Structure 1
Amino acid sequence: MTAPARRTSTRRLRTRTAALGITAASVLTAACGATVEETATGGGTVTVPRCGEQVEYRLPERAVAYEAGSADKLFVLGLTDHVHGYVMPPANPPVEESPFAEDYAAVEFLSDDLLNRELVADARADLVVAGWNSGFSDERGITPEILDGLGIQSFMHTESCYNYPGHPERVSPFDGLFTDLERLGAIFGVRDRADEVVAELRSRVEAVEENVPEGEGVPVFLYDSGTAEPMTAGNQVPPNDIIRIAGGRNIFEDVDARWSTVGWESVVEAEPEVVIILDYGDQPAEEKIDFLRSFPATTDLPAVVNDRFFVLDYNEGISGPRNVDGLEKFADYLRDLDL
């Protein structure tokens, strides 16, 4: 799948379906270099949890990030000089459109394939940042345990740890984001910078919470993909928090999973008032909306009948600092609805 060819049409759709009045705050657009603490440069180590397991880290100098969520977490902490490169599968939107475009340009693009052990070894990486089953994978033979054996450090998104074998860790997706920034701050010796970033992100989340209208949450269905069965967001991924904090209710909030397939019958029974379209890959968001409008099972859904579609950018839906951008935009969208 390739992303660049679909971006112009998606922008037109987004103008029609989503409120884009709020731009990323300065913490996301200014990737200034952070001052590394002396203890981090003196050859010592720091012990930081990795999915519930206490791990000793050396200061990384050649970090490799898988997908934009991983790279963004490093860039927002001002760690571009410690990043060797990134792996970006084609489902991701172009990095040139990222608020961290200059940081991406300053490091090496390593591959548009999935993460693998050979790529990491060839890059002489000393840290790999990815998620469990979204980067790291038993099936593909690249796991933290395998990398430990090769002397390569690894960091996993806390949001992805709830079913990590042997060392699960369960937090809400937004708390996982804040935890990751704090832990990366400790690993790289930039705790003060991490505290500043987390404080600003938390402040923006609180501002959204303070402006949520009273009343029962609007039922929301996130449509990722699929025709025979839809792929959607369970309660272990950022869109669940985006929907909840913005004043909505994920109709699959009881699904204890990250991304999961469900039955169309369940979607119909929930009668969602809003559909979030997760925008990625080579299928334009308009095609997903056209499918929902024409598919017999969904054509009479309240959201479809009333043309209530919100397009969520891929990198606002996976764990990373842009989650808060997505939250602010969706909260604006819900406030503007006449429900």
Structure 2
Amino acid sequence: MKASLDRQTGPLRATAAGLTAALLLSACGAQVEESTEARTVTVPRCGEDVRYTTPQRAVVYEGGSADKMFTLGLTEHVHGYVMPPANPPVTESPWAAEYAKVEFLGDDLLNRELVVDAKADFVVAGWNSGFSDSRGITPAILDGLGIQSFMHAESCFNYPGFPQRHTPFEGLYTDLERLGKIFDVEARAAETIRDMRERVDAVQAKAPAEQLPVFLYDSGTDQPFTAGRQVPPTDIITSAGARNIFGDLDARWTQVTWEAVVQGQPEIIVILDYNDKPAQEKIDFLKTLPATSKLPAVVNDRFFVLDYNEGISGPRNIDGLEKFGEYLRGVRP
């Protein structure tokens, strides 16, 4: 289904009425401001072209969505944010002052009722990490409610009907470019992307010659969850000069086996640090689990902690890359 968010009819009618009133008033010597038509622009949402009217009451889900808006100077367009327990406190964010200016809407998963109650006109989230068929909040459903939506490009590769592939970092740049068009801040977006690319290039230029094998541990005890090809930690690991042992899996966050982890013999383990599942608990588990206790990374105590918001799509991916790049350069196999 091709969604259309074209709302020109109402603004055009209002503009015509406004001009008529302005002419009548000016004949009487009154001073009035001219009415202007609402700005609209067509921008891809995954593989689907969608027409957007500049949003004024955005709801953003998780730190990555909020950070993308804040880094483009769009705080005044954000009504509020939803922040599940995995996210670190917003007071620790580089944009803590911006979070303080908008409303905290909830600490649970994104849902349709919350968005409607907030009178949102724009929702920013990822596919299957915010938007969800099973929870009844999808771009198509929001289209039907007259609420615009925006999906993280890195999550689009398995979006039903309109899939689109990006490497994770390119997905980040794509999101900033698209948001720049929607909100008419394209120059700011281009400058931000240029700065990010330069920072990535600087880390890559210092990458070690040998690509050490790395395992990212997200969560899970019976079977571990890890990062596949389609999520930012894989770009962080490879751009820094190492190799994700599960980087060939065509997936986002995915379940593997402990046997596969052992087979990969990681020299470094990256721990994704959740607010509600602290990194130290995961490190302690890996040190006591018989299957992992003899891995080179565990024996040599080579654990790198990646902040949750450095691991999901957002501007802090580049911070995570710089930190991991520095750590990697200090490791001697």
Q: Does 1:97 align with 2:73?
A: no
Q: In the alignment, which residue of structure 2 is the partner of 1:139? A: 134
Alignment deviations for residues 22-81 of structure 1 (CA, whole Å, 9 cap, x no partner): xxxxxxxxxxxxxxxxxxx84131000000100000000000000000000000000000
Paired amino acid for 2:46: C
Q: Which ranges in structure 1 are unaligned for 5 or more consecutive residues? A: 1-40
Distance in 2 separating the partners of 1:213 and 1:151: 51
Distance in 1 separating the partners of 2:63 and 2:150: 15
Please give the residue correspondences for 1:270-289 in structure 2 after superposition, counting only pairs within 5 Å: 270-289=264-283
Q: Does 1:111 align with 2:116?
A: no
Q: In the alignment, which residue of structure 2 is the partner of 1:5? A: none
Count of residue correspondences:
298
Distance in 2 separating the partners of 1:288 and 1:212: 27
Distance in 2 separating the partners of 1:115 and 1:325: 26
- Of 242, 248, 258, the residue aligned with 2:252 is 258
Distance in 2 separating the partners of 1:267 and 1:211: 28
Alignment deviations for residues 152-202 of structure 1 (CA, whole Å, 9 cap, x no partner): 000000000000000000010000000000000000000000001101011
- Of 44, 65, 68, the residue aligned with 1:70 is 65
Q: Which has the higher contact order (CA 8 A, sep 6+)?
A: 1
Q: In the alignment, which residue of structure 2 is the partner of 1:127? A: 122
Query: Contact (CA 8 Å) 2:52, 2:148: kept in 1 or not?
Result: yes
Please give the residue correspondences for 1:159-170 in structure 2 after superposition, counting only pairs within 5 Å: 159-170=154-165
Corresponding residue SS for 2:154: helix
Alignment deviations for residues 70-117 of structure 1 (CA, whole Å, 9 cap, x no partner): 000000000000000000001100000000000000000001111111
Query: Contact (CA 8 Å) 2:86, 2:277: kept in 1 or not?
Result: no
Corresponding residue SS for 2:193: helix
Corresponding residue SS for 1:260: strand
Q: In the alignment, which residue of structure 1 is the partner of 2:15? A: none
Q: Does 1:152 align with 2:147?
A: yes
Distance in 1 separating the partners of 2:62 and 2:278: 20
Provide the identity percentage: 71
Q: Does 1:337 align with 2:324?
A: no
Paired amino acid for 1:334: L
Paired amino acid for 1:181: L
Paired amino acid for 1:271: Q
Q: In the alignment, which residue of structure 1 is the partner of 2:5? A: none
Distance in 1 separating the partners of 2:58 and 2:207: 39
Distance in 2 separating the partners of 1:264 and 1:77: 41
Q: In the alignment, which residue of structure 1 is the partner of 2:192? A: 197
Q: Which ranges in structure 2 are unaligned for 5 or more consecutive residues? A: 1-35
CA drift at 1:254? 1.1
Q: In the alignment, which residue of structure 1 is the partner of 2:173? A: 178
Paired amino acid for 1:302: P
Q: In the alignment, which residue of structure 1 is the partner of 2:16? A: none
Distance in 1 separating the partners of 2:275 and 2:89: 11
Q: In the alignment, which residue of structure 1 is the partner of 2:44? A: 49
Paired amino acid for 1:172: T
